[in-house]
Structures are given as structure tokens and as C-alpha cells.
Structure 1
Amino acid sequence: MIEELIPAPASAAHTFLDSESAVQALFPEEAAVVARAVPKRRQEYAGVRMCARRAMNALGVPPVALVPGRRGAPRWPAGLVGSMTHCAGYRAAVVGHVRDYRGLGVDAEPNEPLGDGLLEYVSLPQERVRIRALAVFAPEVHWDRLLFSAKESVFKVWYPLTERELGFEDADIRIDPEAGTFTAHVLAVPAEGPDGEHLKVMEGRWLCRDGLVVTAVALRRTHPGDAVRY
């Protein structure tokens, strides 16, 4: 699924299954992070790292430990950018070279409505108006959940480049229900440096299938002379 949203040269991998072998394959420093976690949490953690290493292998990158840093963002090897996501019954990761991408963000959620009161918390008034219209257009998609997922994907691109928080109120998302795309207008103060302009407006893609909504943002490098940070 995820590979449909971020095509080559990025590499993606996903799984619908958990396995104890993925837990046993964790690097010692990874295993230490979830040593006290319940089995379900360990399997999620291990499964998504298994996907990440499969994606890295497709790029010719050897397996390494992927330990979470601040805000839980994985620490990728030098020269790579990537993103991981997991929800009930699905784990996925996407990885690319920094020469090709400034940032990558993916998120998967169950195609179910958000809990009571959560839409008001994660959305802007104008977004709620659009969500109501989309629900009439295609009621089989839970657009409130898709909106949440899109903001998560945007955050996963924003945070590694800025190391600054981005609140739900800081991104205005417009979803195109026919094209399977969305546009995020970031309302927060832009980042400084070469990434600032690129973070003001981000384009993403989405799909709804197999009981899931999945979103992705790929911030490509458009010019060979773009600054590359390792």
C-alpha cells in the first residue's frame, strides 16, 4: 500500500502480520527500549523496524539499529531519511536517500471515526466544514481520521528538519477526494535556512483500502544544487 503513495527512488515495505522472529531480530539497543513493554507494544516496535530494514536493504543499505530519538522519531543512518508507521494490523516504513528527499512522512490509521471531541481538537474550523462536505461525497471514508493521518504525515516531515513542535492548529489541510491527494498549508513560523520555503506548503497523497487510511508526504529535492544535510 505505502509504495503506491511514495514511488521510487524511495523504498517502502509493509506487513499485515506480527511475528516473534521480528522481536528476536531486534538489535540489543532497540530491545532495551521496549524491554519493559507489553508484548503487543514489542511486536509493533519490532515489526515496523523489520519493515524499515527491508526498505533499507532494497537501497543497498546494511541493517542497523533504529533507536528512537526525541519525540520518538527514528534515528536514520547518515545519508538516509525515512518514516515509520503502525496501527492495528499494519506496519510500514519508507526510506530514501537525502540526495533525493528533504523529508518523508507516512502514517496509517484504521478507517474508523475519531473519538468524541477529537475532531475539534485536531482540526481548524474551515477543515471541519470541508470534512462535512466530504462525508456527503464519499461516506465510506472516515474523513476525520484521514485528516488526522495527513497531519501526522506532515509532522513527520516537519519535525526532523526543524526540531520544533507543530500543533494540529498549525497546518491547514485540503483533501482532494478524487485525485487522492492533499495539500498542507503550514501556518507556523517557517523554518530557517534552506528548508524554510519548502515547508510552507506540502503536497501529499492518500488512499483508503483494506480497512485503513494511509497518507504520505514526500518532500523531494528539485534542484541538484540543493543543500544536503547529513
Structure 2
Amino acid sequence: MSTLHNFLFNVYPYICLTVFLMGSLARFDRDQYTWKSDSSQILRAKQLRWGSNLFHAGILFLFVGHTVGLLTPHFIYEPFITPAQKQLLAIYAGGIAGFICFIGLSLLLHRRMFDPRIRLTSHRTDLFILLILWVQLVIGLVTLPFSLSHSDGSVMLSLSDWAQRILTFRPDASGIVNLDWPYKVHLVLGMTIFLLFPFSRLVHVWSGFATVAYVFRPPQLVRSRRLGLKKTSLSQSQSSTHSTTRST
């Protein structure tokens, strides 16, 4: 392995993960008022509605698909599906989700770049993060023809082995040395997005995942206004009686 390859795929992942976790925590602790998505819906709602819905539907499917596909050990799914079948499933399902996400993200990028009012209210980081997401998505779609040419599932197994070794602190990028360039660029850009995550509006993704906690919250007791007024009046009456008794 070359020095650059070793750095990008054995060292850089840990740099990105450290900044991703510690940076998110630091921003939540120090700058909570900047922890938001900075919606511009009031300026142009229709295009935002279409773009946002398509983008979020596609990106969530891709995120779950990449996470499950890369981090699930081979022996778990081996009795049910072969690596080749799993790769074909990832190609077709990921291709559809990627195309949906591409349309939505292109609408959002066009809206933010070519609407004068929205462009004036946008931060440079907003445009930059949308551009890098768009490029990352395009390169991900470019990998599909390459994946079809490796229909035996070998590429998927190599990528999964690399990702699982990173997660278990046993880095070894020797298995992905000979991968085609779109895969390597896609991996590096993906890690870079994690690196930039705490410094952009993407931090609001944490809040989206945190809403799952509401499912496990105890039920909230809500009393009617009339009952609340009755209890308040009764409490005030008892307090007044108690004060009169003490003064007597």
C-alpha cells in the first residue's frame, strides 16, 4: 500500500469520526442556538416541499442501506442470500433511491443558488455542504456500472470487511487497494462529510434521531382547563381559610 492510501483508509477514518463525535458534542454544549436546519420555506415553499421530501426519502434509504450493507457480518445473511444477490439488490434498490435523492437535492441546490432572496440569506457553508453532497451522490451513481461488472459480490465483501475493521479498531485497507477509482473517491468524500458535519446545518440530523426517544417516554398527563381552574380556586379558598384561622 502507498502512504497516501494507508492514510486515507486507515488513519483518516478515525480523524473524521473523532471530529464528528467531539465536534457535535462541543457545538451542542456551546452553540445550541445554531443547532437548527435554518429553513427558508417562507421564501419559496413549493420547490422546497418537493426537493426536501425527495431528498430526505432518498438519503434516509441510502443511509440505512449503506449502514446495514457495510456493517452486517457476512455470516449473518449468508444462509438467506448470497453475496452476489445482495450486491444486485444493493445496486437496484440503491440506484432507485439514489436517483430520487438526486432529483430532490438538485431542486434544493438550484433553489438556493438561483433564487436571489434565498442566496442572500444562505451561509457559504450551506452551499458548500449541498455541493459536496451532490458530488458525493453523483459519484455514488457512477459506481453502479462498476458494481454490475463485478456481479460476484467480491467488491461488496471487500468494502464490508474494510468498514467492519475500522469499526472494530482493526484497520486494514489492503483489501481495497485495487478497487476502481469511483469507490475510493466515494469513500473519501463520505468520510469528509462526517468531518464537516459538526460545522454545518447537518447537525440537525442528531435531533431527528433523538425524536425516537419520544416513543419510550411515559404518557403525559393533560388536564382540562376547567378542572385546572376548579383545583386552583379550591386551593386558594383553602389557603384563605387557613390564613383566617391563624390570624384568629
State TM-score, norm by structure 2: 0.23
Structure label with greater radius of gyration: 2
State TM-score, norm by structure 1: 0.25
Structure (1/2) with the larger helix percentage: 2
